[in-house]
Structure 1
Amino acid sequence: MSRQKGIFLVITGALFWGIGGTVSKKLFQDFNINVEWLVTTRLLIAGLLLLAIQFFSKDRAQIFDVWKTKKIAIPLIIFGLFGMLAVQYTYMASIEHGNAAVATLLQYLAPVMIIVYLVFRKQTVLTRRDVFTVTLALIGCFFLLTNGSVSQLSVPAPAIIWGVLSGVALAFYTLYAIPLLKQFDSLVIVGWAMIIGSFFLSWIHPPWQMNFQALTGEAIFYLVFVIIFGTMIAFWFYIKSLQSLSAKESSLLASIEPLAAVFTTVFWLNEPFGHFQWIGTICIIFMIFILALNKEPATIKSKVYKEEKPLKIS
């Protein structure tokens, strides 16, 4: 595959991720779509489609090989519940209580959390670059969440809590998946993780418990976009881009996701965004670019974080 095609795929996928979050907010506020139902349905359909793509590849046997030993099956279940499901639910809950822009930017604090975790575990050495990126993240968060006022928050507290939890879940998701990715294709791991998360959440809100007759054509269009384009195609394009781009390049180009989330939130949903919030947004996006431009993604200089197959889940 040509390099130009790889660049096109990763940028398109990142745009779908960012816009998908904003469209989800539209579903929550205008059509009263339940968060649990959307997450369950999104994970189930996207997971099945990703495994279907793998089925038509030369490595289709991997789809069922993951369940042959407890050594793989148990970590995969843990990854599906505390990685995939946790990331998806906390991200969507943050969007519901706030907006896609804030939720996406808070989720992108995960690399900073990974740095702090690995330094605490003495698996990496804290560098000046790390200190700078952590400082940028803290400044960015302060302006993003307060709009420069220390007396009040510009973002609802539940949105902040869910957004921070989404970053924590993404950090766990990223680190925990690495051993699994060394043995199986990412389409298999993520596809099954989505289905596992969907199966668990189905006990709380089954995907068939929905008044489908009340859905308008507009709502159905948005649902299809979130599930197909904002989840399945976005992830597929990102993974596909790694055939012609390095993980560093794909990570850098994928930084367009928070920009897409911010601009669609502000200009399509007309969400208020203060001057200091724009400064905070710029700080966080600048931090993302610094991390992506580093030799190893997320400035992790240890054997724990490899550059081979980064995951993306928004």
Structure 2
Amino acid sequence: MSAQGQAARPQHFVRGVACTLLGGTLWGFSGACAQFLLAGGYGLSPLFITSVRMLGAGLLFLAYMLAAKRGMLKAMLSDRPTILRIAVFGVVGLFANQITYTVVIGYTNAGTATVLQCTGIAFVMVFTCFFARKLPKAKELAGLVLAVAATVLIATHGDLSTLAIPLPGLIWGIANGLACAFYIMYPK
């Protein structure tokens, strides 16, 4: 590796950490804002909030692509299979992930919705093991058991005879986990 390449690695690492922290912070802020808007008596629906969020993000992304990656955008838009894959990802992956997350916030709160969304990682593992026809490794199985246990604790607060969150919130949370798994796996 060249001296210039080695010098750039720490800079890329710092930029990656900063982007990760900023992304997580903005995601948390977005969830708190959605909770505020849904619970604040403004009469806004999860569909409206999700549509505005996605339209705003889509316009910003399109502006970036037009300014910095015009050739790539033109190539993507001139290839029918790519357009179809983008449409499927946009509707079944991105939109489903966003709308189910916002619906869960409406039934529960932003923190619970975020934790339930993280069940997507467990679904990814289950689907990966199923399609690869392999059993999970011991560490993976332990992680799955802990994820299920955490979801049960969130849903029941430790009292298995009753739900501590509304049933629709739990069902939508599981749907959000599935949408998140599709969002993660489909691009591959």
Give the aligned partner of residue 116 of structure 1. Answer: 126
Question: What SS does structure 2 have at the residue aligned with 1:56?
Answer: helix
* Larger helix share, 1 or 2: 2
Which ranges of structure 1 fall in alignment gaps of 5 or more residues?
179-314
Counterpart selection for 2:55 from 41, 44, 60: 44
Offset at residue 124 of structure 1 (A):
4.9
Give the aligned partner of residue 17 of structure 1. Answer: 27
Counterpart selection for 2:105 from 95, 100, 116: 95
User: C-alpha deviations, 1:75-129, integer Å up to 9, x for none?
Assistant: 2111111111111110100001111111110111111101111211225552111
User: C-alpha deviations, 1:30-55, integer Å up to 9, x for none?
Assistant: 12222111111111111110121222
Matches within 5 A, 1:241-260: none
- 1:167 lines up with 2:177 in the alignment: yes
Which ranges of structure 2 fall in alignment gaps of 5 or more residues?
1-7
Instruction: State the identity %.
Output: 27
Greater relative CO (CA pairs within 8 A, separation 6+): 1
Q: Distance in 2 between matches of 1:106 and 1:78?
A: 23
Give the aligned partner of residue 81 of structure 1. Answer: 91
Matches within 5 A, 1:1-314: 2=11, 3-30=13-40, 31-57=42-68, 59-122=69-132, 124-178=134-188
Q: 4+ residue runs of structure 1 moved beyond 6 angstroms?
A: none
Question: What SS does structure 1 have at the residue aligned with 2:77?
Answer: coil
Give the letter for the 1:11 counterpart: L
Instruction: Give the number of aligned pairs.
Output: 177
Offset at residue 64 of structure 1 (A):
2.7
Q: Distance in 2 between matches of 1:123 and 1:176?
A: 19
The TM-score with structure 2 as length reference comes to: 0.88
Q: Distance in 1 between matches of 2:56 and 2:77?
A: 20
User: C-alpha deviations, 1:157-206, integer Å up to 9, x for none?
Assistant: 1111111101101111111122xxxxxxxxxxxxxxxxxxxxxxxxxxxx
Question: What SS does structure 1 have at the residue aligned with 2:132?
Answer: coil
Give the letter for the 2:46 counterpart: V
Q: Distance in 2 between matches of 1:109 and 1:76?
A: 24
Give the letter for the 2:130 counterpart: F
Question: What SS does structure 1 have at the residue aligned with 2:86?
Answer: helix
Q: Distance in 2 between matches of 1:19 and 1:104?
A: 12
Question: What SS does structure 2 have at the residue aligned with 1:61?
Answer: helix
Q: Distance in 2 between matches of 1:150 and 1:117?
A: 27
Higher Cα Rg, which structure: 2
| CA-based RMSD | 1.5
Q: Distance in 1 between matches of 2:56 and 2:25?
A: 20
Q: Distance in 2 between matches of 1:95 and 1:124?
A: 35
User: C-alpha deviations, 1:191-237, integer Å up to 9, x for none?
Assistant: xxxxxxxxxxxxxxxxxxxxxxxxxxxxxxxxxxxxxxxxxxxxxxx
